Chains A and B, each alone.
Chain A
Amino acid sequence: MIRFARAFLHFWSDFLIGDRLELFVGPIVVLLAAGALLGAGVDGALVGILFFAAIGLVGALSIGLATRR
């Protein structure tokens, strides 16, 4: 049972995270930050634009890291 649970967790971590942790953590951090901005009353459209830009930055950061590995 424990082996099955471990294999199950390993499969999903490999499926969603793989060897690029920043691509898993980055979007979650960006979502949390966008949620916080909305909660603070920042305009929704502006948050949308910032959200798009931040996701683009996460992708660029990951590519930068990959080319240095």
Chain B
Amino acid sequence: MARNQPRGAFTAGRYDGGVNSVAVVTILSAFLASAVEFVEAATIVLAVGVTRQWRSALIGVAAAVVTLALLIAVFGSALALFVPIGTLRLVVGAFLLIYGLQWITKAILRAAGAKAKHDEAAIFAAEVAGLDREPPVAATGMDWISFTVAFKGVLLEGLEVAFIVVTFGASANLLGPAVLGATLAGLIVVAIAVIVHAPLARVPENAMKFVVGVMLTGFGTFWSGEGIGIHWPGDDLAIVLILAGYLALALAGVWLLRQQARRSGDPALAVGAPRP
């Protein structure tokens, strides 16, 4: 960190550990992205626990969490330590850009009613129906179906969290804030799932994916741009402008899609009703 830089600033592409707007945005991005994925994982674990065996399902969850923590620690540290920051930002930024665009375009289509919204209650019912067709739970010992389904569900959903945490962590030495955001999201979702003991169908997943999509696309644009040598006007302040620009474009996209639907007389798009 340069001596004349305030604590919390990006310096030579690295975050110095203080609290600044980029760290806050990183915590928020990791929190929202992780919360969405944890809600989806909680639905799977809940379905397994309710229909089969809680003990084996929870062992599966623990095994997946340990695997994810190892992946984050190994890849997050290795990328930050061994890959030059310019290359890292280009590659990681490009991945974030691709991933963020997928999230935001899906969220725009869902917000405009052109794509069915995520329905945790329906996913829960489908999981339960699938598990009911499996052989019955053994009277004693481990139920490997419960373990496998819970492990796979948490690992696959968690990989998206790990991807976001590692990419943010590696690009700007923001592993700490990113892990903090993801951990907070995990604790809150688990606490609510334990209290509610039902699929978390009322979590505004689409709105959260909308915000995260804007953030991932924004950071991906900034970092991949820096990676190829773009000097953003206003330096780090450009992130805020890029995020605001993408948010405006995304909202305009939703509005345009709804207008287009009204003109064409498509009721699903016009009223924002879900469409498969």
Give Cα A62 to B257, complex, Å: 13
Would you call the interface of chain B mostly helix, strand, loop, or mixed?
A: helix
Q: Which residue of A lies closest to B96 (CB)?
A: A27
Would you call the interface of chain A mostly helix, strand, loop, or mixed?
A: helix
Contact (A63, B221) CB under 8 Å given A31-B228, A34-B228: no
Contact (A23, B108) CB under 8 Å given A31-B228, A63-B257, A67-B257: no
Q: How far is the CB of B41 from chain A (nearest CB, A)?
A: 16
Q: Which of B121-129, B130-138, B242-250 contacts A (4 or more CB under 8 A)?
A: B242-250
B221 touches A16 (CB 8 A): no
B231 touches A44 (CB 8 A): yes
Contact (A48, B98) CB under 8 Å given A31-B224, A63-B105, A63-B108: no
Interface size on A, residues (CB 8 A): 28
Contacts of A35 in B (CB 8 A): 228-229
Task: Give the interface residue-count category, chain B.
Answer: 35 or more
Within 8 A of B (CB), among A25-66: 26-28, 31, 34-35, 38, 44-45, 47-48, 51-52, 55-56, 58-60, 62-63, 66
Contacts of A44 in B (CB 8 A): 229-231
Contacts of A8 in B (CB 8 A): none
Q: Which residue of B lies closest to A66 (CB)?
A: B109
Contact (A27, B97) CB under 8 Å given A52-B245, A55-B221: yes
Q: Which residue of A lies closest to B230 (CB)?
A: A48
Contacts of B95 in A (CB 8 A): 16
Q: How far is the CB of B3 from chain A (nearest CB, A)?
A: 27
Residues of B within 8 A of A (CB): 90, 94-95, 97-99, 101-102, 104-105, 108-109, 114-115, 159-160, 163, 217, 220-221, 224-225, 228-233, 238, 242, 245-246, 249, 253, 257, 260
